[in-house]
């Protein structure tokens, strides 16, 4: 019994996906770009390279047990899958954009019957139905930004990361339809039974990397007489680790803690002010609770 993990075969999600898997200890056995099914160093895990937009449907059928794809493609497909984890990369927005000289500043100003070019047909339909606007959806598979320039559409619904591509084509966003990023998804049936045990092992490996990305290991030396003052301001997952340091001029303790990255500056400054010294901050590879 093995676990099949569907990953993007091309596009902006490929590199960060492989970095997460590498950090999780899941490494492909070879790097032939022509190969669609690739064994890994874990003999019970196989990678399946697919188009990003095809991954939700393949995972829904359990042809792949897990998948990494954009949340936009999950929502567009309507696939009944378990969304397990926001992987934190590939962040973007799906926006409605119009020509800069169109005069429109928001979607409410768009007239009924406006032509919207997009590959996100289902998302577009649901969005405009929700706001009570009748539109004509022009299905495209690529080069969405050029459609208004060609006169094939009046506006577009597409992914925007920085806005540079829109600006190059004389477009401006007037509404955000949804936020998207890379997500880990699973086939619901694959989460059951013996297969489920193996699938959850892969999920835990990936989650351990995500957890580690948000935390740092902090080591510091603290004079024993100041230890309680320092411990009062230190957060930790279970509690600081404290050990005595031998052969020092005055009684000294080593304190080891794990700190959320956002809290790190305040924590180390406060510890220093209360007498900690020799403070070292170290990256963490994995955190498994």
User: Domain boundary residue among 169, 193, 212?
Assistant: 212
Statement to judge: residues 65 and 102 lie in one domain: no
Statement to judge: residues 30 and 85 lie in one domain: yes
pLDDT at 35 over 90: no
- pLDDT per residue as tens digits for the range 230-274: 999 887 666 789 999 988 888 999 999 999 888 999 999 999 999
Residues 267 and 276 sit within 8 Å (Cβ to Cβ): no
Q: Which domain holds residue 115?
A: 92-179
Statement to judge: residues 82 and 188 lie in one domain: yes
Statement to judge: residues 108 and 154 lie in one domain: yes
- pLDDT per residue as tens digits for the range 151-210: 999 999 999 988 888 999 999 999 999 999 999 999 999 999 999 999 999 999 999 999
User: Domain boundary residue among 193, 212, 231?
Assistant: 212
The neighbouring-strand residues paired with 95 are 158, 176
Statement to judge: residues 58 and 112 lie in one domain: no
| pLDDT on residue 145 | 92
Statement to judge: residues 163 and 113 lie in one domain: yes
Statement to judge: residues 256 and 223 lie in one domain: yes
In a domain, 21, yes or no: yes
Statement to judge: residues 107 and 250 lie in one domain: no
Q: What is the largest CA-CA distance in the chain?
A: 82
Q: How far apart are CA 118 and CA 146, in angstroms?
A: 11
pLDDT at 277 over 90: yes
Q: How far apart are CA 257 and CA 112, in angstroms?
A: 59
CATH value at residue 156: 3.40.190.10
User: Domain boundary residue among 212, 232, 255?
Assistant: 212
Statement to judge: residues 32 and 158 lie in one domain: no
- pLDDT per residue as tens digits for the range 46-91: 999 999 999 999 999 999 999 999 999 999 999 999 999 999 999 9
For 52, the token pair is 């990003």
Statement to judge: residues 40 and 114 lie in one domain: no
Count of structural domains within the chain: 3
- pLDDT per residue as tens digits for the range 124-163: 999 999 999 999 999 998 889 999 999 999 999 999 988 8
Statement to judge: residues 17 and 77 lie in one domain: yes
Statement to judge: residues 39 and 82 lie in one domain: yes
In a domain, 289, yes or no: no
| pLDDT on residue 1 | 82
Residues 202 and 180 sit within 8 Å (Cβ to Cβ): no
In a domain, 48, yes or no: yes
Give me the sign of the Cα torsion angle 151, 153, 154, 156.
negative
In a domain, 32, yes or no: yes
């Amino acid at each position: 019994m093995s676990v099949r993990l569907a990953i993007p075969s091309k596009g902006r999600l490929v590199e960060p996906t492989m970095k997460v898997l590498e950090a999780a200890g899941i490494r492909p056995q070879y790097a032939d770009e022509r190969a669609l099914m690739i064994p890994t160093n874990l003999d019970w895990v196989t990678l399946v390279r697919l188009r990003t937009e095809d991954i939700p449907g393949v995972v829904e059928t359990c042809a792949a047990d897990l998948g990494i794809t954009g949340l936009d493609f999950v929502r567009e497909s309507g696939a009944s899958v378990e969304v397990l984890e926001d992987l934190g990369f590939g962040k973007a927005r799906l926006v409605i954009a119009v020509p800069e000289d169109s005069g429109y500043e928001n979607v409410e100003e768009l007239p009924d019957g406006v032509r919207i070019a997009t590959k996100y047909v289902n998302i577009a339909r649901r969005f405009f139905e929700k706001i009570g606007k009748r539109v004509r959806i022009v299905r495209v598979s690529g080069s969405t930004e050029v459609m208004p320039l060609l006169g094939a559409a009046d506006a577009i619904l597409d992914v925007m990361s920085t806005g540079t591509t829109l600006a190059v084509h004389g477009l401006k966003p007037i509404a955000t339809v949804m936020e998207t990023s890379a997500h880990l998804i699973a086939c619901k049936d694959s989460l059951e039974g013996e297969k489920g045990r193996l699938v959850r092992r892969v999920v835990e490996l990936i989650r351990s990397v995500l957890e580690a990305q948000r935390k740092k290991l902090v080591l510091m030396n603290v004079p024993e007489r100041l230890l309680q003052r320092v411990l009062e301001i230190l957060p930790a997952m279970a509690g600081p680790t404290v050990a005595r340091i031998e052969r020092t001029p005055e009684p000294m303790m080593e304190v080891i803690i794990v700190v959320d990255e956002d809290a790190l500056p305040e924590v180390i400054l406060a510890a220093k002010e209360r007498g900690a010294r020799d403070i070292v901050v170290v990256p963490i590879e994995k955190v498994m609770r």
